[in-house]
Homo-oligomer: A and B are copies of this chain.
């Protein structure tokens, strides 16, 4: 009552600009009037800063919430955001772009996770706001990645170290097709920009070095990283003749499903078939037998990407080390 809007603004944002007594009175009166402090929309409009960070997921939101790897990333992201008093707006590149545009104007910066389609990527880039890519790369844009080829090579080398092997690969997003299927040589000749292709390279190199290379028809394409799809592929692979005794999987979800299917088929892991994963999700430690896998520290990835974004290191391209976690599903 009887103070200007400017003074009220100062009461909320710059305590040093007015007497403690007046500030207190204003805050008390505001509470009484049911005023909840500055309106974010107006404040953003005026300041050009919203304190909101947008995370753009390459998959649909609904799917992402069901994916343990995405969840770990988001854990890391939100950890840092909360610490820095920023808010989290979740977006998906799957959404109709005209609707998305509006939402993309709000955040102060973006984290883009996964293989983002060109249109979305360009659109976000044109906002001119800082951004950090995760599991995705582009010149001149900051990013956090792992060395997928190397990680895949390491675990495959371990699995194929001794003896002769019949190898099958349960691959994730290897081609642009929405059903589970095996590959052909033609599929592999088409370039496809997914990290899974790097993982395949690592598997292939390890196999060649160990004298047990595999043909395209021993490689399964799984379009979505969920149990349903993994189960179809695992069942096909494990009933194939000759039956593979090494199953190289491109995700832990796939590998855990494969372990279960193997048990259902009466196969012993790792005696009859060795199974490897990729990701290092929490569940991989707890399966029976526990899963040998490549840990990619998704939580750390989320934290690091968020820190890079907030600290304005918008040029660095970080490649994180993976860690081999050898457990009961191999050997």
Contacts and interface: CB of A to CB of B under 8 A. Distances in A.
Contact of A40 (B34, B60, B87, B103): B103
A127 B98 CA distance: 29
A36 B104 contact: yes
Say how many copies of this protein the assembly contains.
Answer: 2
A60 B41 contact: no
A4 to B, nearest CB: 20
Interface string A87-113: 111111011101101111110000000
Interface residues of A, number: 57
A288 interface: yes
Interface string A37-61: 1111111110000111000000011
A78 B70 CA distance: 15
A96 B36 CA distance: 14
A36 B126 contact: yes
A264 to B, nearest CB: 10
Contacts of A91: 87
A202 B245 CA distance: 48
Contacts of A42: 41, 45
B103 A92 contact: no
Given A38-B102, A89-B88, A288 B288 contact: yes
A66 to B, nearest CB: 6
Nearest to A44: B41
Contacts of A211: none
24 contacts: A36-B104, A38-B101, A39-B102, A40-B102, A40-B105, A40-B106, A41-B42, A41-B44, A41-B50, A45-B45, A51-B103, A52-B89, A52-B103, A61-B74, A62-B82, A66-B71, A66-B72, A66-B282, A78-B90, A88-B90, A89-B89, A256-B286, A260-B288, A288-B288
